[in-house]
Structure 1
């Protein structure tokens, strides 16, 4: 499975360099940076030490949505206590989830937020599932380089070996399902049910391929019945 690492508005060049070094150590290559030029500064190259090609080849984007435009599945990292979302996986729990996804989605992104404030709720809403590193409650959060290393170490097995051939023609069946579900809520006149909409957005990312296909079929049948 191809895994991209996305850093949103990193402020300290040294943190970006540490993230690049962690990525190369664990075999990751695709670094995407949102709304920042920290990777171009000397501090990033100094700390990267032997992995400057990760910085040189980094892709930059103005927004997180732009960075994720070609990626069908997104994991956003956050502090569990600060998130309004409920569906959450530890780094270890991500491994079997992504192993299943690799057969029908092919690629995924791992998103890290700002050093001081993390990801906004609007940015978290772009993710299919949330994750974070379990820590002792009264200990401060990991810095950016440490967090990237933890996730890259845990997920390194997913990028090893020959890439799997992805079955199916739909580029992003989960995104299509999400749009279809929200469209149905509109047709039913319950789109303002925030609790229901949030539950859909959060839960769909956990579906396996067969469940996704079956739910597409169910929504199709409901849409067909409503159109009669």
Structure 2
């Protein structure tokens, strides 16, 4: 499993430098930047302090959608008050979910939003799972560098879990296929306009295990067959 850190439109180069430093400290090295050149500013390098290669090798994308084009499983960080629905995992729960997904997911992205406004609802909708750090109050909240460190620390054990078997390529597209089949089913049932139902399904699918996706595919097959009759 390869984990990529994605920063969406970061404004302050110091925050990007702090994120790079947190990544290297915990063993992560793949950084993607969306719609920002903050990582190229001198201030980012000053704060990165020994993590300059992560900034130099960072990949830039014009949109979050393009940054996720090769990703099998996307996780978006959000504050509870900003989430459209409140189905999200804590960092500890996220570790457990990714530990299971090591067996069938190859490319994973952890997405962090803007310093002042986070991720938009449209951007959150691109994720398979939402996650947030429980806090006593929404403000003061963690800054970008601190948030990246919390998650890199919590997930760093994944890098050393050599007991997990190599992911099976055949499984990597199961979740995306499941989403598409549910969308098609909602259209056939003439309820595709129910955004609340669709969003609920998509967000809950992000937490299922591989064996559950296989059973859901079987169930959808039976439903599709019955509707076809």
Shorter-normalised TM range: over 0.9
CA contact (8 A) 1:86 1:202 kept: no
Q: Structure 1 CA distance, aligned partners of 2:13 and 2:169?
A: 41
Equivalent runs, 1:171-190 vs 2, <5 Å:
171-190=172-191
TM-score, scaled relative to structure 2: 0.95
Quote how far apart the aligned CAs of 1:170 are.
Answer: 4.2
Q: Describe the SS at the equivalent of 2:6.
A: strand
Residue 218 of structure 2 aligns with which residue? 217
Quote how far apart the aligned CAs of 1:194 are.
Answer: 2.2
Residue 128 of structure 1 aligns with which residue? 128
The structure-2 alpha-carbon separation of the partners of 1:138 and 1:196, relative to structure 1 and needing over 3 Å to count, comes to closer
Unaligned runs of 5+ in 1: none
Equivalent runs, 1:184-203 vs 2, <5 Å:
184-203=185-204
The structure-2 alpha-carbon separation of the partners of 1:52 and 1:2, relative to structure 1 and needing over 3 Å to count, comes to same
* RMSD of aligned alpha carbons: 1.4
TM-score, scaled relative to structure 1: 0.96
Quote how far apart the aligned CAs of 1:139 are.
Answer: 3.9
Q: Describe the SS at the equivalent of 1:96.
A: helix
Q: Structure 1 CA distance, aligned partners of 2:166 and 2:37?
A: 35
Q: Describe the SS at the equivalent of 1:88.
A: coil
Q: Structure 2 CA distance, aligned partners of 1:129 and 1:41?
A: 32
Residue 207 of structure 1 aligns with which residue? 208
Give the total of aligned pairs: 228
Q: Structure 1 CA distance, aligned partners of 2:169 and 2:113?
A: 32
Residue 55 of structure 2 aligns with which residue? 55
Q: Describe the SS at the equivalent of 1:135.
A: coil
Residue 71 of structure 1 aligns with which residue? 71
Quote how far apart the aligned CAs of 1:43 are.
Answer: 0.5
- Deviation beyond 6 Å, 4+ runs, structure 1: none
Q: Structure 2 CA distance, aligned partners of 1:108 and 1:85?
A: 22
